[in-house]
Structure 1
Amino acid sequence: MFNNKTIRTKMLIVSITLLLLPSLVIGTTAYFSSKENLDITGEKSLKNGVEMALQIIDALNQQVEDGSITIEEAQEQARIYLIGPKKEDGIREIQSTVDLGEHGYFNAFNEKGIDVVHYSDEGDNSWEIKDVNGKLFVQKVINKAQNGGGFTTYEWKLPNNPEKTGEKIVYSALDPNWGWVVAAGTYKMDFNAGANQVLAIVAVTLTISTVIGIIIIIWFTGSLSKPLRLVTKHVNRLANGDLTVEPLDINNKDEIGILANDFNVMAANMREIIQTVEHSIHQVNASAENLNAISEETSASSQEIGGAIDEIASGTAKQAEDAEMSNKKMGNLSTQIEKVEQLNEKMTVQSQAANEASQSGLAQMTSLQLKSEEANQLSHTVVEVMNRLSTRVTEIENVISVIHTISDQTNLLALNASIEAARAGEHGKGFAVVAEEVRKLAEQSSQATGDVRQTLTGIINESQQALQAIELSQNLSNEQTKAVSDTKQSFELIVDSMKEIVSSIHEVDHEVQGMSAHKGEVQTAIEHIAAIAQQSSASTEEIAASMEEQLRAIAAIANAAEQLNEAGDELKQKISRLRL
């Protein structure tokens, strides 16, 4: 419940409590301490009075013993000293010089309880007198005196107000000379009169100091809580999003003044930060939209590049198949050339029996002619394949040029994205990393296209060499065809021209050996073409894989841009709740 109070109320409660509590403790302690000391002082006064009375009685009794006065005279002098002279009405006026308090006086009893000394009841028997509580206090007073002296307390009516009672205290002692029980008694309130005065002074002082303290506390708490309430009001407005709160005008030099100045600085900094964030949000949204558009364009370009690379891969694979087929055909051609060499050897061995095997030789030459034509046809096929290969390589080089151009554009886009990311500041660091990765991919693509172009240049050079070798082989094949035709004619005229046939056979053998020598070169060139085609196919696959990775990176960039745009919109929505 105390926690629900205001600071001023709490300070008032605590301050007044701290003001009143010590005052009450000091006042109460002073009162009871004064009362206790006064009680002790009063008791000593009563005891000293009784002892002094006993000394006076002893002195008077000495005079009696000396014979200076009679015992009656001595006892009367004692009564006059203890109380005062007796008036005509039989009552003694209390004139004792011993101060026993306002209502205090001496009296004395004999052992039977008869008042031998009393201001009004002298000669009366008080043995059976009881106090308001029914206590036989006179008997106790006498008993205390007979036992060496002591104090007796009892309740008795107040002299000025008989309807009320007060506690009386009596000290009694026994006089050994006359047998009197001398007593001195008074009301305890006479002892405590000083304590009551102290209590009154403390009460007045406490009241005045409390009133003055409360006034000072109220003024102090007001001067302390007023700026605190003003600070609390401004803080609540700021917490509710009202950044238009005016600066606090508090000139205190204490912690409250420092708090107010810190609040003004905080509010100004918050307004500046919110305005900066709002401006940055607009820039981030614009950059995110631009990045998203660039990502879409790059993705479309990459898809087109991927399609072109797929076509290149398909053409390269077809080229590798054609090269493999050409290699097989060249193997067959080699086999045929070997057969021609064997036949030529047979023709040389059987030249001596030409006449006998002219028909057989003619048939062999016919077969050789067919084979030569077939070889010539294969040569034409290889030439056509090499021409197509050259055309494909040229097309690949054109596509590689396109890829290289796109890579340069992608690199430029990545550079622009890095610049935009640098403008975005802290929010663009992640986008800068992505742009750097795109730039690296573009550089790798450009390097790969350079490698492919270099490889294609080698392919073109090798193809040209192979084409030249094939053209040479074709010329040889044409010559072989002509030689076979001539040989056939020679076989027809074999009977008449045996020597010409032998010469022709040697010429054929020479040409066949030439073909055999060139066939290895052609086959090697075709194998190089096949190897280059396979390498081109592998490079194309690597390029396709790189493009796929680039597409994934672009998709990640687009996703990050979209998330950045959404975050900017969300932050803009939250900032719109604030009033600047």
Structure 2
Amino acid sequence: MKNTETTNVKAKRIRSVRGFITKSIQNQILIPFLILIILAGGVVAVVSYNFSVKNTTVELTETVESQMVGLNDTFELFFSNIDYTLERFISNDLVANYQPENKQDLLNYFGETKETNPSIANIYTVIDKTGEVIIYPEVDLGDDFNAKERDWYQNAVEANGETVWTEPYTDASTGETVVTVSRAYYIGDNLAGAMSADVMVGTLVDMVDELEIGQTGYGVIFDNAGKYVAHTDQEYIGQDASKEEYYKKIISTGKQGIVEYQFEGKDKIMAFTTNPTTGWILGGTVYLEDFQKQAQTIIIPILITLGLVILLAIVVSILITRGITKPIKQVMERMENIARGDLSHDPLKTKYRNEVGQLIVATNDMNQTMREVLHQINEVSETVSSQSEELTQTAGELKTGAEQIATTMEELATGSETQANSASDLASNMGTFASRVEEASEHGEHIQGNSVIVLEMTNEGSKLMQSSSNQMVKINHIVKDAVEKMQSLNKHSQEISTLVSVIKDVADQTNLLALNAAIEAARAGEHGKGFAVVANEVRKLAEQVAVSVNDITGIVTNIQTESSNVSDSLRDGYSEVELGTSQIETTGETFNEISSAVTEMAQNIKSVSVNLSEIAASSQEMNGSIEEIASVSEEAAAGVEQTAASAQEASGSMEEIAGSSVHLAKLAEELNELVGRFKI
């Protein structure tokens, strides 16, 4: 019961809402228009908000990414300065040609450099020959200290003159975060030692810590192992993040980019770039909700604008619907008067030229037209009433004459029908004969046409066989010429082998001379250093030539082998071409014999087809004459029967006309009564 009552209540509410909407045109226009405006405004608000969030996110993300790129440029400038300092040390004669008596001068030089660059904690060099370490500031490293066993020294030697950087670590004496930068240096091709410096990167870490990214964002640094070098929360420094999902996304993205991830259940975004010198990853991370908060400032202006638009739409809709419904109500009242039969009112006046104005004009026209039509109906009904009496008298006289004509025409119809049946049978038999003769003639024509096609195809086949024979002769000459050219190619490839052997000997001699020159340059010491470089390049070039000569020798050998195989294949092809030429000539002679036999057969078929065509033409003429006789007989019989039927129909029609004229007179009287009800 409760469910039924609830359903009834809902149904009543729906009917009341529908009744309110459909009660007037104004509601039907105003309510959907307002709903459309509200929906459109809501969609615009949602789209604008989402676009603002997306656009703000993109812009701020790009800003963070540009911050990381700028920070990376600063790092790279710092590292380049340190690298330049090492280069300057190595190129200095005190380091490159170290002498124990110059140790104090070297320490003074190190001290001057450290004073101008406070980010350097320690400067030291290791002499490879003696293992001596010259370090500034001077410290006692202990008797068992062997610098050549240290990782930074071994990595520098393996780098072969390139600068290497260690992972950051905490200096035991100062507590600062430092990295060790090292580079091996050489005298000629011989290792002389390694130049190193301990560089404090605290300034760089402070720069990352001071980054401002949104409201809650901050900067981070990861070393090559995935450990935190810099983080606003000191607890994270030194922790391994390489197994974290966001770090894996960073590695898979590449050297630079943007990754989205979740951290402690919240969505975050990180823009990062990789420092080319150290391989460290510099990143700036921020919560996505920071971007969304900035985008929410657009909601209030959107809501205010939407409210103003809805208010303006209500005012405009009311004005427009009133202008439409007022003249429609006038038309409705006029139509009610017309429904009651009152056509005496003056025409409605209107100043509109739109559809409403046209509706009022159409109502006036309808009122005037109905008034005129009723006048005409009144006049016509009186005329119909008088004429219907005269029609009744005339219909009786015509009925008697029609009955006499019908009796006579029935007798004529019987004789004409017998004659028509005989002519139809004869025409049917002649038609069967003519169709069979015509069918035989058509078959003859098809056979003649096919024989002509076969003859043409035979002639074409003969021509193609002659063309194929000529083509085989050309192929014979081409294959023969190809065999001769392949033999010449084989000869030239053998000559190339001879030349390659000569080039190989020259390369071996050049390599030997370059080796001798390098030995002499080494004996000359510093003065022969430039010449040693040239001799080394000549030796490398000679080795490359020797390798290329070996490759060319292999290629030429393959060419000779393939040339021999191709030559054998061409000889076999030449034999097959000669055999094919002989067989094509035999086939051509057979085609000539077939062409003669087909020509004679086509002439005989043509003669038979002409005779069948003449017989078919004569049969058609005879059949046409017989059909014409049968047609005339049938038309005569049909005409007589139709005349008799028409006479009978005329008699019946006269009876109907007489009855209809009486009924018409009654309807005319009723029509006069109906017209009298209207007020004109």
For the superposition of Structure 1 and Structure 2, which TM-score range results when normalised by the shorter chain? Answer: 0.3 to 0.5
Q: TM-score, normalised by structure 1?
A: 0.41
Q: TM-score, normalised by structure 2?
A: 0.36
- For the pair shown, the structure with the greater C-alpha radius of gyration is 1
